[in-house]
A = this chain, B = another copy of it.
Amino acid sequence: MSEKEQRGLSNECLPSAAEHRAPHRRQPHPYVAVDVVVFALGADGLKALLVKIAQGPLSGAWAFPGGFVGLDESPDAAAAREVHDHTGIRNVHLEQLYTFGGPDRDPRSRVVSVAYIALARGGERAPHHSTKYGEATWFAVRRLPPLAYDHGRIARMALARLRAKLAYTNIVCNLLPPTFTLTELQHTYQAVLARRLDRRNFRRKLLALGLLTRRPGARRGNHRPAALYAFRRRSPIVISIL
């Protein structure tokens, strides 16, 4: 994810180089921010983390965690920092969602915001509450409150992207613990997709893909123990899963 893009030295040689070479130097220009949609599995379905805006005219409204991109950090790093600050989680899976930059997103100042999706492994955790960060809470994605700014749009796009990628990547491994049962895997799919899948077809398909490997031991509960599996590879793979 880290975009170490070497634009090179004087980037003002961008394609349209000449145009902005000197002229735009030192002129007011948009701020750059990130907004992060952090998804996690809760007991009752897929959750997303929201924070309550503490100041300004929109105080009290809910929004996704986010903040400015510093001069010396990439948007990816800024997104990772935001996730860590709000959840304490490091090494979440992060991927860029879309960049929103309309001049009227926020009437008070021009902000171009790079939205990210983050997937937190192993279910929701207690978010960090503090005066610094204000109230933060996990909401069921099906019952999000009204969101500030254009975050409603971000929410819809994030969920659509996540659902789409479930079908053709191994992205789901970022929502699961290292080992899991096939039923847990299926429940994860069902929680994200918000629809039921046929157990027999699901198991056959997933096993046939060869992405999983059997792990020793079993999950024991009140009933018949379930075999444990893990993803053979956690690096992103593009394959037709569903």
Residues of A bordering B, CB below 8 Å: 2-25, 27-36, 50-59, 63-76, 78, 81-82, 85-86, 96, 98-114, 131-134, 136, 148-151, 153
Contact = CB atoms under 8 A, between A and B. Distances in A.
Contact of A23 (B54, B66, B108): B108
Contact of A9 (B36, B66, B108): B108
A18 to B, nearest CB: 5
A224 to B, nearest CB: 38
Given A16-B67, A75-B101, A106-B16, A33 B54 contact: no
A6 B102 contact: yes
A60 B89 CA distance: 45
23 contacts: A7-B105, A8-B58, A8-B105, A9-B56, A10-B131, A11-B51, A11-B55, A11-B132, A11-B134, A13-B57, A14-B52, A14-B65, A14-B134, A15-B86, A16-B51, A16-B58, A17-B54, A17-B56, A17-B134, A24-B68, A29-B32, A74-B101, A74-B102
B111 A99 contact: no
A18 B55 contact: yes
Nearest to A64: B15
Contacts of A69: 6, 29-30, 101, 112
Contacts of A133: 11, 13, 16, 18-19
B149 A15 contact: yes
Nearest to A101: B75
Contacts of A24: 31, 68
Contact of A2 (B23, B102, B106, B150): B102
